[in-house]
Structure 1
Amino acid sequence: MNQINYPEFANDCLHDLIEKQDIFNAAYDINGYENWFYNQATGLLTFSTGDDELNFKYVEIGTFSKKSNTWKWSWDNEHTLPSVKDEAIQLKEFGAKYGYEKLTEGYFASSEEEAWEFTAIAAKLIKGIGAYRPTSEQLLIFMVLTEFVDTETAKNVKDLYVECGKHEYRRRAFVCSHLMARKKVGFEESFDTYENMELHDEDDYQAWCNECEVVRQQEDGWNEKSMEFADIRVVCEQCYFEMKEINLGYR
């Protein structure tokens, strides 16, 4: 196995990122937008001014705490969703291959300069088109942007998610009103599901209780009468699986 001089490699990655960032800023001018917003569930970073939006897919690389001067890799952060951290595991694998401890340890003392170094390495390994660090007073989040997402596609992605008072922003799901009582009433699904499964955009989690299933069968499927009885509600996927666990004890 050929060894790589880590300081030289990291420095080369930083120079590559600076060049890449110049090209990225010239193409998209993200600093010209008034607002920014990122969402782990959708995996989208959005810049906006009024109705004008610019969207990118992103990977969260890690966070740097200005309070404790520590770095934490996203793959070691249980609060970061798999949708935006799975690709970051490449850095851990790279570090293990070449014996670079700071790429394999989840949490350690560091500096903001080193955080940018890690981000530059990530941009190279996952072939990012640019990097971004949202403004924050204490916890700095470092991201690598992987692709531009056109407005229509971004809207379609965002429409698949709902804001939940308990679980924040999650994939939408549909349940009958009887399941909202959060007690055992039976649990019928349109297809077998499990937590964190990948769904096609045209698919949704859908469930209804035993009584709804009786009416549905009496009506030979879903029609105006069976839908009225079900009184379908929109919930987030986390609520959906909590209801499923109450009824089926699947865990």
Structure 2
Amino acid sequence: MNDDPRRIHCDRHGAQRPAFVCGHLVSGVGLGFVEPEGPQDEDASDEQAAWCDRCETARLAGGGWTAQSEAAAGITLVCAVCFEASRARNTHWMEGVARGWRHTDAR
């Protein structure tokens, strides 16, 4: 049993910090990876969170998260390692270039 409230048990990675993603990012590829920016609501948790471009479009159209956009997002609890894997699969390549990422040939 996991008694640490800041840890969850992941079947693949064991005890890890919790994070949240929209359900689309759990197994999606190339869907975009949007993380909250700026000041958050007082009741917002400090865990990592992200959602795909489609969820961001719905969020912006509603002027923020609404009951409908939250339901469509299907926010899912994942471990921090799964969160980073989701980031790697879903971040658009050009966003990475803008952040200074580059391809390295491992030959």
Q: TM-score, normalised by structure 2?
A: 0.73
SS in 1 for 2:86: helix
Q: Which of structures 1 and 2 has the larger relative contact order (alpha carbons within 8 angstroms, sep 6+)?
A: 2
Q: Measure, in 2, the Cα distance between the counterparts of 1:241 and 1:182.
A: 13
Q: CA deviation at 1:181?
A: 1.7
Aligned counterparts, 1:171-210, within 5 A: 171-191=17-37, 202-210=45-53
Q: Select the residue among 69, 74, 82 that pairs with 1:239.
A: 82
Distance in 2 of aligned mates of 1:180 and 1:208: 10
Name the SS for the 1:244 alignment partner: helix
**Match of residue 105 from structure 2:** none
Amino acid at match of 2:32: G
Amino acid in the other structure paired with 1:168:
G
- Alpha-carbon distance between aligned partners in 2 of 1:178 and 1:247, rounded to the nearest angstrom: 10
Correspondence for 2:6 = 160
Q: How far is the alpha carbon of 1:182 from its aligned partner?
A: 3.4
Residue 141 of structure 1 corresponds to: none
**Matched residue pairs, number?**
88
Alignment of 1:94-113 (within 5 A): none
Tell me, yes or no, if the aligned pair for 2:6 and 2:17 is still in contact at 8 Å: yes
Shift of 1:247: 1.9
TM-score computed with the length of structure 1 as normaliser? 0.32
Q: 1:191: Cα distance to partner?
A: 4.0
Higher-Rg structure is 1
SS in 2 for 1:189: coil
The structure richer in helix per residue is 1
Q: Aligned to 1:223, which of 60, 66, 78?
A: 66
Gaps of 5+ in 1: 1-36, 40-154, 193-201
Q: What is aligned with 1:170?
A: 16
RMSD: 2.3
1:83-102 equivalences in 2 (<5 Å): none
Q: Secondary structure at 2:64's aligned position in 1?
A: coil
